[in-house]
């Protein structure tokens, strides 16, 4: 029987976190790095990844590799995995965190906005997961964690979320997660998703400040998520001890979707 340290320890593993240099991505990167995983911080903004990588490497004493990727561009996804395999020789964990949104009234929602969101959130996540799974299948081990949202489960008044493509993409992520969990179980790859509610980040600060009075009544805990309240969720799904947990969409939302 493994002890608790062994069940949670990620020492020597390699974790790719897309969008891992800022916001919720950085929070999850720290969670994995603090458990011992070596990291790949991948995003479109390479300079931001380099700055975050230097900081995390210094603070955590792990190896952190900054990389550039635009998940809706196939060539950059392929190049990312080539560079990661050259640098580390393995991929144990993927956190599919890159995402996009587009706000517009649903009756007037532009098709180019729809395509950008779907290409990033759904197609990009699928491509990243497939490339990771090809490596993980050869290792007979892997953890894939997709990012869904409370928006996957509920409709939203326009004054809170007038982002129909985002809602559709996150519902699709939940379905993709369950299907891949079944298909890839034979390779000892778990596929799960986290469905965050509203967290305070630089990206959401303006929206939350403007709409706080409207949003809080929808949240049973009457508050937004904290700066460290996604860490245990991602660590649980990435840990060696969660091997019998697959196809799960884990809500971290203060009780919003429980209503």
The answer to whether 117 and 68 are in contact (CB under 8 A) is no
Sheet with 38-43, side-by-side order of all strands: 64-68, 38-43, 14-18, 93-96, 142-147, 189-196, 249-252
Of 30, 81, 141, 166, which is the active-site residue? Answer: 166
Q: For every residue of the chain, which 3-state class applies, written as one string? A: CCCHHHHHCCCCCEEEEECCCCHHHHHHHHHHHHCCCEEEEEECCHHHHHHHHHHHHHHHCCCEEEEECCCCCHHHHHHHHHHHHHHCCCCCEEEECCCCCCCCCHHHCCHHHHHHHHHHHHHHHHHHHHHHHHHHHHHCCEEEEEECCHHHCCCCCCCCCCCHHHHHHHHHHHHHHHHHHHHHHHHCEEEEEEEECCECCCCCHHHHHHHHHHHHHHCCCCCCECCCCCHHHHHHHHCHHHCCCCCCEEEECCCHHHC
Q: How many Å apart are CA 16 and CA 68, to the nearest integer? A: 12
- Tell me, yes or no, if 81 is annotated catalytic: no
Q: Which residues form the catalytic set?
A: 166
């Amino acid at each position: 029987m493994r002890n608790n340290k062994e069940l949670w320890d990620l020492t020597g593993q390699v974790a790719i976190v897309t969008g891992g240099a800022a916001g919720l991505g950085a929070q999850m990167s720290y969670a994995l790095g603090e458990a011992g995983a070596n990291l790949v911080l991948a995003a479109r903004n390479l300079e931001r990844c380099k700055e975050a990588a230097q900081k995390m490497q210094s603070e955590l004493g792990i190896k952190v590799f900054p990389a550039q990727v635009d998940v809706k561009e196939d060539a950059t996804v392929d190049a990312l995995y080539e560079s990661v395999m050259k640098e580390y020789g393995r991929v144990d964990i993927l956190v599919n965190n890159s995402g996009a949104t587009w706000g517009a009234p649903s009756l007037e929602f532009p098709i180019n906005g729809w395509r950008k969101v779907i290409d990033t959130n759904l197609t990009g996540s699928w491509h990243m997961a497939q490339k990771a799974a090809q490596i993980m299948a050869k290792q007979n081990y892997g953890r894939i964690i997709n990012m869904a949202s409370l928006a996957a489960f509920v409709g939203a008044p326009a004054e809170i979320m007038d982002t129909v493509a985002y809602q559709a993409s996150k519902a699709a992520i939940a379905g993709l997660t369950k299907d891949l969990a079944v298909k890839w179980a034979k390779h000892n790859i778990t596929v799960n998703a986290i469905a965050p509610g509203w967290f305070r980040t630089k990206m959401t600060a303006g929206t939350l400040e403007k709409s706080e009075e409207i949003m809080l009544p929808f949240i049973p805990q009457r508050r937004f998520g904290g700066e460290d309240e996604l860490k245990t969720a991602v660590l649980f799904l990435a840990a060696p001890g969660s091997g019998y947990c697959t196809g799960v969409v884990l809500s971290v939302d203060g009780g919003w979707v429980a209503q």
